[in-house]
Amino acid sequence: MALIVQKFGGTSVGSVERIQAVADKICKFKAGGHDVVVVVSAMSGETNRLISLAKEIQEEPDPREMDVLVSTGEQVTIALLCMALKQKGQGARSYTGGQVRILTDNVHTKARIQSIDESNIRTDLDQGRVVVVAGFQGTDSEGNITTLGRGGSDTSAVAVAAALKADECQIYTDVDGVYTTDPRVCDSARRLDQITFEEMLEMASQGSKVLQIRAVEFAGKYKVPLRVLSSFVDGPGTLISLEENSSMENPIVSGIAFNRDEAKVTVLNVPEHPGVAYKILGAVAEANIEVDVIVQNSAHGDSNDFSFTIHRNELKKTVSVLENLKEDIGFSGIETDDKIVKVSLVGVGMRSHAGVAAKMFEALALDGINIQMITTSEIKITVIIEEKYLELAVRGIHSAFELDHKIEEETL
Ligand code: ADP
Ligand code: ASP
Ligand code: MG
């Protein structure tokens, strides 16, 4: 008998029929003798709907009230799923994040989980019930409702699995595993049987939304076995493995991630003297804005241009932070571009292979795509390009690295 945490995302609970199908799936697991704790998201589209309501009232909605608002989506699905389970004769109990004491810090809309009190969950499991926990939410030490950032139910599930020392955390979604790249963008993308934590962490941090990055971080830190599966079709899914598979040679490249949410800011003619980068990025960090790719362009005379990328939602805020520095630093102006995307090639095999970057850049050159910024790590190469080239770039790189699925395999 195993203890399994199952997370069902928005499309998996997107209608009453889908919720009933999820309840059937859970009942099957219970019938197999397993203990099951379920974490659910809001019905698909619901969180977006709530956010747009808020934005009709305030352009930058109050973060505390935003959390009170968006956390309601998950409260609906926990109740409906428990009703569906009970209707099928399976005892079940729903809990909001606060009720199972998912304690977070107080950073509204992007809170981090600090601890979970699993005693309620254990009592229910001992009595044969399925426990259904609202994903995406917790409460801070003062009892305020907090949320964990978009896609945060993945993190709730892994955190619950870590707290309970579950045998596996299964993330059920609308694709049957982690693919070499988003199958919505590249129809020759291939499902991976397994991917290392390190690679999954890079894929998630570079924009692959199939798992929230914090979920992967948590799973790695607490050694939670994690699997991504389809809630619509049966199959083995993708195992996020703790160790690199030593029995076979690792592929050089495992996948391609991309992110459409970034914008580029260029500070023009920044005087060349020590401490300037610190002044710019220090002020941006102080405003709680996360900076991603940074490039200091080559000097012309005694000044140079300094570019970095941030989340598109923070573009206005970033510009106003920088404007306050203009006089002090003495730069000549600020340019912004929100029509850019970030494309990253990820693979642990890159460590031991030269020429990976050149091959990626060749694929982009063949499609006539200009690279605006480049950044690399041991297992990743990232480029910033014009947004209109995203699909072309992903497909070109995908086939350059022979990631496409084999047609013969499919027809056999
Ligand atoms: P859920 O609502 O279940 O959390 P998400 O929409 O957050 O689902 O995540 C699943 C989606 O992630 C897929 O529909 C797919 O379009 C996207 N995705 C992006 N990159 C990948 C990838 N490498 N492999 C699989 N899916 C990916
Ligand atoms: N409902 C939240 C969102 O849409 C959390 C989640 O689905 O994981 O971001
Ligand atoms: Mg998700």
Report the alpha-carbon distance of residue 145 to residue 104 in Å, rounded: 9
Query: Higher confidence at residue 249 or residue 274?
Result: 274
Under the banding of pLDDT at 50, 70 and 90, the label for residue 106 is very high
The reply to whether ligand 2 has any atom less than 6 angstroms from the CB of 150 is yes
First-to-last C-alpha distance (Å) of the chain: 37
C-beta of 42 in contact with ligand 2 (< 6 A): yes
**Distance from C-alpha of 239 to C-alpha of 197, rounded to nearest angstrom:** 9
Range with top average pLDDT, 294-303, 349-358, 401-410 = 349-358
CA distance 341 to 347: 20
Please name the residue ranges forming H helices in 71-134.
72-87, 119-126
Q: Are strands 3-8 and 102-104 parallel, antiparallel or unpaired?
A: unpaired
Instruction: Supply the DSSP symbol for 178.
Output: -
Q: Could you tell me how far CA 269 lies from the centroid of its own chain?
A: 35
Q: Provide the pLDDT confidence category of residue 411 given band limits of 50, 70 and 90.
A: very low
Pairing of strands 238-241, 262-271: unpaired
Q: Helix or strand or coil: residue 66? A: helix
- Regarding the beta carbon of 209 and ligand 1, being less than 6 Å apart is answered yes
206-253 pLDDT, tens digit per residue, is 999 999 999 999 999 999 999 999 999 999 999 998 776 554 556 789
Q: Any idea what the Cα angle at residue 38 is, between residues 32 and 44, rounded to 5°?
A: 125
Could you give the 3-state DSSP secondary structure of residue 412?
A: coil
Query: Which ligand sits closest to the CA of 136?
Result: 2
pLDDT for 410: 46
| pLDDT on residue 299 | 65
Q: What is the pLDDT of residue 140?
A: 98
Residue 199 or 246, more confident: 199
Q: Which pLDDT value is given to residue 252?
A: 85
For residue 101, the CA-to-ligand 3 centroid distance in Å is: 22
* Rounded Cα distance, 237 and 214, in Å: 20
pLDDT at 94 over 50: yes
Instruction: Delineate the domains of the chain, giving CATH numbers in brackets.
Output: 3-174 (3.40.1160.10)
Atom of ligand 2 nearest to the CA of 212: 8
Structure tokens, 242 = 């703790």
Q: Contact 363/400 with Cβ under 8 angstroms? A: yes
Q: Answer yes or no: is the C-beta of 135 below 6 A from any ligand 2 atom.
A: yes
Lowest mean pLDDT among 244-248, 257-261, 379-383: 244-248
Strand-pair partners of 103? 115, 139
pLDDT at 129 over 50: yes
Longest pairwise C-alpha distance within the chain: 77
Q: Which atom of ligand 1 is nearest to the CA of 231?
A: 3
CB atoms within 10 A of CB 45: 12
Q: What is the pLDDT of residues 142-175, one digit of tens each?
A: 999 999 999 999 999 999 999 999 999 999 999 9
Of the listed ranges 12-26, 41-55, 341-355, 395-409, the one predicted with least confidence:
395-409
Quickly state the pLDDT bin for 296 (edges 50, 70, 90).
confident
Q: Is 153 in the pocket of ligand 2 (CB under 6 A)?
A: yes
Q: Would you say residue 61 has pLDDT above 90?
A: yes
For residues 80-104, average pLDDT = 97
% of the chain at pLDDT higher than 90: 88
Residue 225 backbone dihedrals phi, psi, to 5 degrees: -65, 125
Helix (H) or strand (E) holding 257: strand 255-259
Distance (Å) from CA 37 to ligand 1 centroid = 22
Model confidence at 406, pLDDT cuts 50, 70, 90, reads low
Strand (E) or helix (H) holding 267: strand 262-271
User: At residue 54, does pLDDT exceed 50?
Assistant: yes
Mutation choice for ligand 1 from 210, 254, 341, CB with most ligand atoms inside 8 A: 210
- Rounded Cα distance between 390 and 75, Å, is 36
Ligand at shortest distance from the CA of 134: 2
**What is the C-alpha separation between 21 and 297, in angstroms, rounded?**
55
| Residues whose CB falls within 8 Å of the CB of residue 360, separated by 6 or more in sequence, listed in order | 345, 381, 383, 397, 400, 401
Looking at residue 354, what is its pLDDT?
83
Give the pLDDT score at 288: 87
Q: What is the pLDDT of residue 1?
A: 85
Task: Name the closest-CA residue to atom 6, ligand 2.
Answer: 151
Ligand 2 atom, smallest distance to 149 CA: 9
pLDDT of residue 412: 41
Q: Using a 6 Å cutoff on CB, does residue 255 contact ligand 2? A: no
Residue 311's nearest CA partner among 286, 283, 296, 289 is 289
Taking CA atoms only, the protein residue closest to ligand 2 atom 8 is 151
DSSP conformation class of 11: G
* Closest approach atom of ligand 1 to CA 256: 23
| For residue 344, pLDDT beyond 60 | yes
Ligand 3 centroid to residue 227 C-alpha, Å: 14
Mean pLDDT value across the chain: 93
Averaged pLDDT for residues 382-403: 96
72 vs 42: CA distance, rounded Å: 8
Q: How far is CA 270 from each of CA 121, 306, 326, 382, rounded to the nearest angstrom? A: 56, 7, 9, 25
Closest ligand 2 atom to Cα of 151 = 8
